[in-house]
Amino acid sequence: MSWLQQLANTWQKTQLQRPELAAMFTKPMAEQWVAIDCEMTGLNPRKHHLLSVAAIHINGNTIDTGNGMHLICRPPVMPDRDTIVIHGLRTADVEHGLNYHEMLALLLPFIGNRPIVGFCTRLDMAFLNPLVKGYMGIALPNEIIDVRHLYSRRISGHTQGLSAQAQHLSRILAHYDIPDMGAHDAYNDAMMTAMAFLHVR
């Protein structure tokens, strides 16, 4: 961690409104990550809403499948028919889900100080971080790792831009003969992202 990152980390910690989450600022153990995926009612964080979040621990070369988390949320606006066909979450599935504070009370301790692994992490963080900030006063302090960038670097040898192959998780899965478990299910996507990460890290 650079001195600038350390400074930002220290400042964030002073803004923390949930003392029980102070461990999120400690140095993570080596070879430990958490794969995360989110499902939303759409792709615009200003008008769409989070529907579900899945998280799975990665320890060394092992995905802890017996200790994953899949949380269904109750959004302020129910999903419409057009988006239901994509993520499969109906009003009946989410109306009894967790409110966002209840979801974060479970998710954040599970994430802890682990670096977060995802696919197209910018989008997931655009939905998660405003909720996290409202809950604990700051955005997630964790290192964020996007599998797309790791894969693009692996196949092209440079870090500038993303290759066409890196734009779709299914292409990365096919490259490494990883089984495609079906997209737009948060737990399946988190699992596939974790498997892809172990190949490209």
Report yes or no on 138 lying in a domain: yes
pLDDT in the model for residue 3: 60
Report yes or no on 177 lying in a domain: no
What are 96's two structure tokens? 């009894």
Report yes or no on 128 lying in a domain: yes
pLDDT in the model for residue 91: 74
The answer to whether the beta carbons of residues 113 and 28 sit under 8 Å apart is yes
Which residue type does 79 have? Answer: P
The answer to whether the beta carbons of residues 70 and 88 sit under 8 Å apart is no
Report yes or no on 116 lying in a domain: yes
What are 112's two structure tokens? 């802890």
Output the domain CATH number for residue 141: 3.30.420.10
Half-sphere exposure of 90 (CA within 13 A, CB side): 1
Domain containing 134: what range?
A: 29-146+182-191
What are 123's two structure tokens? 């989008």
pLDDT in the model for residue 160: 59
- The residue assigned the tokens 């809950």 is 135
Q: How many domains does the chain have?
A: 1
Report yes or no on 98 lying in a domain: yes
Q: To 10 degrees, what angle do helices 121-136 and 100-111 make?
A: 110
Half-sphere exposure of 187 (CA within 13 A, CB side): 11
Half-sphere exposure of 127 (CA within 13 A, CB side): 24
Report yes or no on 78 lying in a domain: yes
Q: Which residues of the chain are under the pLDDT cut of 70?
A: 1-8, 81-88, 157-166
pLDDT in the model for residue 82: 66
Q: Could you tell me whether strands 144-146 and 116-118 are parallel, antiparallel, or unpaired per DSSP bridges?
A: parallel
Report yes or no on 170 lying in a domain: no
Report yes or no on 163 lying in a domain: no
Nearest-Å Rg of the Cα atoms of the chain is 17
pLDDT digits (tens, 9 = 90+) for 112-150: 999 999 999 999 999 999 999 999 999 999 999 999 999
How many residues in the chain?
Answer: 201
Contacts of 68 (CB under 8 A, 6+ apart): 54, 55, 56, 57, 187, 190, 191
Across 112-176, the runs of DSSP E, i.e. the strands, are 116-118, 144-146
pLDDT in the model for residue 184: 74
Helix (H, G, I), strand (E, B) or coil at 101: helix
